[in-house]
């Protein structure tokens, strides 16, 4: 057994490839897209490393061509979910005791394979199954997921090295144990990287988990599970159980050894699971750690001194990339009346030029929303705005579900900053704008801060520095990630720690030490080298 203190490889952000015509990465991706579009994958449940097939099946389809079935997956029920929790607990001791350098190596290897031979496979599955363009898949399933793996290993290393002070004759030690139970990970559809990170971050520090992927991201998430197994993740450490959300709540939340809940998704689901945890609180062996990154109503707020061209670019990219389905996507904007005519003109021109279509055509800017339910939600907002005397459809306002769930990029100007599309999360390519009088800056900042319950991301645009200072102060609690003269999307692991507060989550910042520490239970050891035999204290001596 080695007794050296090893140095961890330094983490770095995986460089984003360009996919220029003729580049090797583009050729490899096209080949893989053709291949994945030509096969139908049979996706099992994976418990303790074993595959389970059930009669209850779900389908993975292309949102931009919903009759095309990419895969069928088995859906776990009560029996499989209970088995998964037991399998996690059975794998726990050996995993927690694996030497750190070996545990870490599994995830560092996975990062390198993702960035190398598995890159095209992961990106193609994300493109076809979640309707992402090549670039949107690249920054998600290749780069961000590799970044999560590399940085989380480095953050764990930093935490492990934090040690208490010592005094004469005493050595104090802190060790950081995994939680005394298993982690329940429930992930959303919109980022393959988040799906991967939710069970993996706790696993890096020695936890075991039951992982429920989103039903609309099962294909890419399954390939990630296979990658971890290929890299030597021991059986039972992560158990992959596509299932109904309600079954997860019923059979896993109530388990006495559920020690942590790692969630990303909507505010409503997080709140409902939190309530269930509350109902079971007396039955748990520990108080479960609850970590949730949830909804958003992200904004761009422009000052009259804003530079219009980058402002328009930020509005278009921030609102419409990946069909507005990033949790950080801009979905409301506050524009001063003095620059509104130029901003409006820019939005109309740039939005009309965006190609909406199939992700396999590389000139596509945006594709389809994730499913029929999302299509109906977006359509409802557009139809109501079109019929409302309070709203003007500035751009888009059309949709088409004959082949895929396409919502065209839509800009709505609203007379009221409290109109429904200005305050509710829609999660589609719909940007609502309130035009304020330049003289009403202070009041409008207050409305931006308080009109919606969320606080995830926000951006301000201004050239005037005093204005930036004022806006930053006024909007301090309106978001967890604040941008100055930049769009409100695109946070990078290690550079802009990501997460929001209020109804947007517990703000534990995915991909940071703040998040990793939630999966650890510190244990303090004091050793006295020369133990005292005294009972009485000096002050007790009689004069």
Q: By CB under 6 A, what part of segment 501-540 binds ligand NAD?
A: 504-505
Smallest separation (angstroms) from ligand NAD to the CB of 457: 9
Residue 148's nearest CA partner among 95, 194, 96, 212 is 194
**Beta carbon of residue 511, minimum distance to ligand NAD (angstroms, whole number):** 10
DSSP string, 402-466: SSS-EE--EEEEESSTTSHHHHS---SSEEEEEEE-GGGHHHHHHHHHHSSSEESEEEEE-S-HH
Q: How far is C-alpha 69 from the chain's CA centre?
A: 25
Which region among 187-195, 348-356, 382-390, 462-470 touches ligand NAD (by CB under 6 A)? Answer: 187-195
Q: Does 266 engage in binding with ligand NAD (CB under 6 A)? A: yes
Q: CB nearer to ligand NAD: give 181 or 265.
A: 265
| Nearer of residues 192 and 207 to ligand NAD, judged by Cβ | 192
Q: Is position 288 an interface residue for ligand NAD (rule: CB under 6 A)?
A: no
Size of the site for ligand NAD (CB under 6 A): 32
Report the nearest approach of ligand NAD to the CB of residue 75 (Å): 11
- DSSP annotation of 456 reads S
Query: 536: exposed, middle or buried (C-beta count within 10 Å: 0-12, 13-18, 19+)?
Result: exposed
Phi, psi of 100 (to 5 degrees): -55, -40
Residues 438 to 457 in contact with ligand NAD, rule: CB under 6 A: 456
194 in contact with ligand NAD (CB under 6 A): yes
**Among 202, 295, 346, 428, which residue interacts with ligand NAD (rule: CB under 6 A)?**
295
Segment contacting ligand NAD by CB under 6 A, of 53-61, 64-72, 103-111, 262-270? 262-270
Residues in the chain: 543
User: Can you tell me whether residue 266 is helix, strand or coil?
Assistant: coil
Segment holding 112, helix H or strand E:
helix 100-115
Distance (Å, whole) CA 421 – CA 429:
12
What minimum distance in Å lies between the beta carbon of 33 and ligand NAD? 23
Binding mask 219-258 for ligand NAD (x = CB under 6 A): --------------------------xx-xx---------
The angle formed by the CA atoms of residues 191, 194 and 197, to the nearest 5 degrees, is: 150
Q: Please pick, from the candidates 14, 144, 321, 425, the single residue that binds ligand NAD as defined by CB under 6 A.
A: 425
Q: Which of 79, 62, 191 minimizes the C-alpha distance to 139?
A: 191
Angle at 520 between CA 516 and CA 526, to 5 degrees: 130
Contact 216, 131 (CB under 8 A): no
192 versus 214: smaller Cβ distance to ligand NAD: 214
Compare residues 113 and 185 and give the one whose CB is closer to ligand NAD: 185
- Secondary structure (3-state) at 236: coil
Give the nearer residue to ligand NAD in terms of CB position, either 303 or 487.
487
Q: How far is the CB of 501 from ligand NAD (least distance, A)?
A: 10
Beta carbons within 10 angstroms of residue 178's beta carbon? 22
Name the H helices within 205-266: 218-230, 245-251
Stretch that binds ligand NAD, among 124-132, 207-215, 281-289, 359-367 (CB under 6 A): 207-215
* DSSP H helices in 280-401: 308-320, 340-352, 372-387
CB-based contact 328:487 (threshold 8 Å): no
322 binds ligand NAD (CB under 6 A): no
Is 118 or 427 the residue whose CB approaches ligand NAD more closely? 427
Residue 190 in contact with ligand NAD, rule: CB under 6 A: yes
Closer by beta carbon to ligand NAD, 215 or else 384: 215
**Residues 6 or more apart whose Cβ sits within 8 Å of residue 82:** 251
Asked if 125 contacts 141 with a C-beta cutoff of 8 angstroms, the reply is yes
Interacting span for ligand NAD (CB under 6 A) from 198-206, 209-217, 415-423, 438-446: 209-217
| Distance, C-alpha 465 to centroid of its chain | 32
CB of 69 to ligand NAD, least distance (A): 19
Q: With the C-alpha atoms ordered 64, 115, 150, 319, is the resulting torsion angle positive or negative?
A: negative
Whether 300 and 488 have beta carbons less than 8 Å apart is answered as yes
Q: Is 293 tagged catalytic? A: yes
Q: How far apart are CA 436 and CA 442, in angstroms?
A: 11
Report, in Å, the least distance between residue 189 CB and ligand NAD: 4
Shortest distance, position 517 Cβ to ligand NAD, whole Å: 18
Given the residues 14, 80, 293, 321, the one annotated as active site: 293
**Nearest to ligand NAD of 269, 311 (CB atom):** 269
Nearer to ligand NAD, 211 or 334 (CB): 211
Catalytic-labelled residue, pool 231, 243, 327, 488: 327
d(CA 485, CA 493): 20
Report which residue's Cβ sits closest to ligand NAD. 245
By CB under 6 A, name the one of 124, 183, 186, 258 that touches ligand NAD.
Answer: 186
What residues contact residue 477 under an 8 Å CB cut-off, 6+ apart?
Answer: 449, 455, 501, 502
Residue 214 found at the interface with ligand NAD (CB under 6 A): yes
Q: Does 212 bind ligand NAD (CB under 6 A)?
A: yes
416 is a site residue for ligand NAD (CB under 6 A)? no
Is there binding between residue 19 and ligand NAD (CB under 6 A)?
Answer: no
The span from the CA of 381 to the CA of 373, in Å, is 13
From the CA atom positions of the chain, what is the Rg in Å?
25
Minimum CB distance to ligand NAD, residue 184 (Å): 9
- Tell me the closest approach of the beta carbon of residue 528 to ligand NAD, in angstroms: 46
Cβ-based nearer residue to ligand NAD, 32 or 425: 425
Q: Find how far residue 93's CA is from the centre of its chain.
A: 29
Beta strand spans in 54-117 (E): 57-62, 65-74
Catalytic residue numbers? 293, 327
Binding positions for ligand NAD, rule: CB under 6 A: 186-191, 194, 212, 214-215, 245-246, 248-249, 264-266, 269, 272-273, 293-296, 327, 425, 427, 456, 499-500, 504-505
């Amino acid at each position: 057994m080695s007794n050296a203190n090893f140095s961890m490889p330094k983490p770095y952000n995986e460089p984003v490839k360009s996919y220029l015509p003729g580049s090797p990465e583009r050729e490899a991706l096209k080949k893989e897209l053709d291949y994945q579009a030509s096969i139908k994958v049979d996706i099992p449940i994976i418990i303790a490393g074993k595959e389970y097939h059930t009669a209850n099946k779900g389908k993975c389809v292309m949102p931009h061509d919903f009759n095309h079935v990419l895969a069928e997956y088995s859906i776990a029920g009560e029996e499989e979910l209970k088995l998964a929790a037991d399998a996690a607990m059975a794998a726990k001791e050996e995993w927690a005791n694996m030497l750190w350098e070996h545990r870490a190596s599994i995830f560092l290897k996975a990062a390198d394979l993702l960035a190398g031979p598995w890159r095209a496979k992961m990106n193609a599955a994300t493109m076809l199954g979640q309707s992402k363009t090549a670039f949107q898949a690249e920054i998600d399933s290749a780069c961000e997921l590799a970044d999560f793996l590399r940085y989380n290993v480095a953050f764990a290393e930093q935490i492990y090295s934090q040690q208490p002070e010592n005094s004469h004759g005493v050595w104090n030690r802190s060790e950081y144990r995994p939680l005394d139970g298993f982690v329940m990970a429930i992930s959303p559809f919109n980022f393959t990287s988040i799906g991967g990170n939710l069970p993996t971050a706790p696993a890096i520090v020695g936890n075991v988990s039951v992982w429920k992927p989103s039903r609309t991201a099962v294909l890419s998430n399954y390939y990630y599970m296979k990658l971890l197994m290929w890299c030597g993740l021991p059986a039972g450490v992560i158990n992959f159980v596509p299932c109904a959300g309600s079954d997860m709540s019923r059979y896993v939340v109530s388990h006495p050894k559920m020690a942590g809940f790692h969630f990303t998704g909507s505010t409503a689901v997080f709140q409902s699971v939190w309530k269930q945890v509350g109902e079971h609180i007396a039955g748990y062996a520990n108080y479960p750690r609850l970590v949730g990154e949830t909804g958003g109503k992200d904004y761009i707020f422009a000052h009259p001194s804003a530079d219009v061209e980058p402002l328009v670019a930020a509005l278009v990219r921030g609102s419409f990339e990946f069909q507005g389905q990033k949790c950080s996507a801009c979905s409301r904007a506050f524009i001063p009346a003095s620059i509104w005519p130029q901003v409006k003109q820019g939005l109309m021109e740039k939005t009309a030029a965006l190609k909406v279509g199939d992700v396999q055509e590389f000139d596509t800017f945006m594709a389809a929303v994730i499913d029929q339910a999302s299509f109906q939600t977006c359509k409802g907002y557009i139809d109501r705005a079109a019929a409302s005397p309070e709203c003007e459809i500035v751009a888009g306002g059309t949709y088409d579900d004959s082949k895929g769930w396409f919502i065209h990029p839509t800009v709505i100007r609203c007379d009221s900053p409290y109109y429904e599309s200005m305050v509710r999360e829609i999660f589609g390519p719909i940007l609502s704008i309130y035009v304020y009088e330049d003289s009403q800056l202070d009041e409008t900042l207050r409305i931006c801060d308080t009109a919606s319950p969320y606080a995830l991301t926000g951006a301000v645009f201004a050239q005037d520095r005093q204005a930036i200072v004022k806006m930053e102060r006024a909007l301090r609690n309106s978001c967890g990630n604040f941008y100055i003269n930049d769009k409100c999307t695109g946070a990078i692991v290690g550079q802009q720690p990501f997460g929001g507060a209020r109804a947007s989550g517990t703000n534990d910042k995915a991909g940071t030490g703040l998040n990793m520490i939630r999966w650890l239970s510190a244990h303090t050891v004091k050793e006295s080298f020369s133990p005292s035999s005294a009972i009485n204290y000096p002050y007790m001596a009689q004069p």
